[in-house]
Amino acid sequence: MTSTVLMTITEDDVHKHREALCRWVEANGLNPKDIASAPGVTIERTGKRTDIVWRQFQRDDQGRIMSDPADPTTAWTVRKATRMTSPPAEHGYPETETIKADRHSGS
Protein backbone atom coordinates (compact mmCIF):
# COMPACT_ATOMS: atom_id res chain seq x y z
CA MET A 1 0.00 0.00 0.00
CA THR A 2 1.27 3.47 -0.88
CA SER A 3 1.79 6.18 1.73
CA THR A 4 0.86 9.82 1.20
CA VAL A 5 2.81 12.50 3.05
CA LEU A 6 0.24 14.78 4.68
CA MET A 7 2.74 17.08 6.35
CA THR A 8 6.48 17.55 6.72
CA ILE A 9 7.96 19.11 9.85
CA THR A 10 11.38 20.41 8.85
CA GLU A 11 14.47 20.93 10.98
CA ASP A 12 13.69 24.68 10.90
CA ASP A 13 10.13 23.98 12.16
CA VAL A 14 11.59 21.93 15.02
CA HIS A 15 13.75 24.87 16.10
CA LYS A 16 10.86 27.38 15.82
CA HIS A 17 8.22 25.26 17.58
CA ARG A 18 10.27 22.96 19.80
CA GLU A 19 8.02 23.08 22.90
CA ALA A 20 4.81 22.32 21.00
CA LEU A 21 6.47 19.54 19.01
CA CYS A 22 7.94 17.98 22.16
CA ARG A 23 4.47 17.94 23.76
CA TRP A 24 3.05 16.40 20.58
CA VAL A 25 5.58 13.56 20.26
CA GLU A 26 5.32 12.79 23.99
CA ALA A 27 1.51 12.60 23.66
CA ASN A 28 2.12 10.01 20.93
CA GLY A 29 4.36 7.91 23.20
CA LEU A 30 7.72 9.07 21.81
CA ASN A 31 10.76 10.54 23.55
CA PRO A 32 11.78 13.83 21.89
CA LYS A 33 15.43 13.17 22.78
CA ASP A 34 15.40 10.10 20.51
CA ILE A 35 14.19 11.97 17.42
CA ALA A 36 16.71 13.54 15.06
CA SER A 37 15.59 17.01 13.95
CA ALA A 38 17.16 16.42 10.52
CA PRO A 39 15.95 15.43 8.03
CA GLY A 40 12.61 16.19 9.72
CA VAL A 41 9.44 14.37 10.70
CA THR A 42 6.54 13.48 8.43
CA ILE A 43 2.91 12.64 9.02
CA GLU A 44 1.87 10.00 6.51
CA ARG A 45 -1.41 8.31 5.58
CA THR A 46 -1.44 4.67 4.50
CA GLY A 47 -4.97 3.49 3.88
CA LYS A 48 -6.92 4.56 6.97
CA ARG A 49 -3.84 4.69 9.20
CA THR A 50 -2.03 7.96 10.04
CA ASP A 51 1.60 7.59 11.13
CA ILE A 52 4.39 9.76 12.45
CA VAL A 53 7.62 8.91 10.61
CA TRP A 54 11.00 10.01 11.98
CA ARG A 55 14.70 9.15 12.25
CA GLN A 56 15.56 7.71 15.68
CA PHE A 57 19.02 7.97 17.22
CA GLN A 58 20.73 4.66 17.93
CA ARG A 59 22.24 4.53 21.42
CA ASP A 60 24.89 2.38 23.08
CA ASP A 61 24.46 0.51 26.39
CA GLN A 62 25.18 3.71 28.33
CA GLY A 63 22.59 5.74 26.40
CA ARG A 64 25.05 7.69 24.26
CA ILE A 65 24.17 8.44 20.65
CA MET A 66 26.23 6.20 18.38
CA SER A 67 28.16 7.26 15.28
CA ASP A 68 26.92 5.99 11.94
CA PRO A 69 29.18 3.10 10.82
CA ALA A 70 28.91 4.35 7.22
CA ASP A 71 29.89 7.93 8.20
CA PRO A 72 31.45 8.27 11.66
CA THR A 73 31.09 12.07 11.50
CA THR A 74 27.29 11.76 11.78
CA ALA A 75 24.86 10.27 14.29
CA TRP A 76 23.47 6.82 13.53
CA THR A 77 19.72 6.94 12.96
CA VAL A 78 17.12 4.50 11.67
CA ARG A 79 13.71 5.19 10.14
CA LYS A 80 10.81 4.57 12.52
CA ALA A 81 7.05 4.97 12.33
CA THR A 82 4.22 4.83 14.82
CA ARG A 83 0.48 5.43 14.66
CA MET A 84 -0.43 9.03 15.40
CA THR A 85 -3.03 9.17 18.17
CA SER A 86 -2.87 12.92 18.84
CA PRO A 87 -2.41 15.56 16.10
CA PRO A 88 0.14 18.39 16.46
CA ALA A 89 -2.56 21.09 16.54
CA GLU A 90 -3.78 19.78 19.92
CA HIS A 91 -0.38 20.69 21.37
CA GLY A 92 0.03 24.20 19.98
CA TYR A 93 1.71 23.47 16.64
CA PRO A 94 0.34 25.91 14.01
CA GLU A 95 -1.44 25.13 10.73
CA THR A 96 -2.32 21.51 11.38
CA GLU A 97 -6.06 21.63 12.01
CA THR A 98 -6.74 19.43 8.96
CA ILE A 99 -4.51 16.57 10.18
CA LYS A 100 -6.65 14.00 11.97
CA ALA A 101 -5.32 11.39 14.37
CA ASP A 102 -6.31 7.75 14.64
CA ARG A 103 -8.27 7.57 17.88
CA HIS A 104 -8.20 3.79 18.20
CA SER A 105 -5.38 1.37 18.86
CA GLY A 106 -4.22 -1.54 16.74
CA SER A 107 -3.06 -1.67 13.13
For residue 74, CA distances in Å to 77, 100, 107 come to: 9, 34, 33
State the pTM of this model: 0.84
- How many residues appear in the chain? 107
Does the pLDDT at position 77 exceed 70?
A: yes
User: Given CA atoms 92, 96, 97, 101 in this order, what sign does their dihedral have?
Assistant: negative
Alpha-helical regions (H) of the chain = 11-16, 18-27
How far apart, in whole angstroms, are the C-alpha atoms of residue 77 and residue 80?
9
pLDDT digits (tens, 9 = 90+) for 83-93: 999 999 999 99
- Mean pLDDT for the stretch of residues 51-74: 97
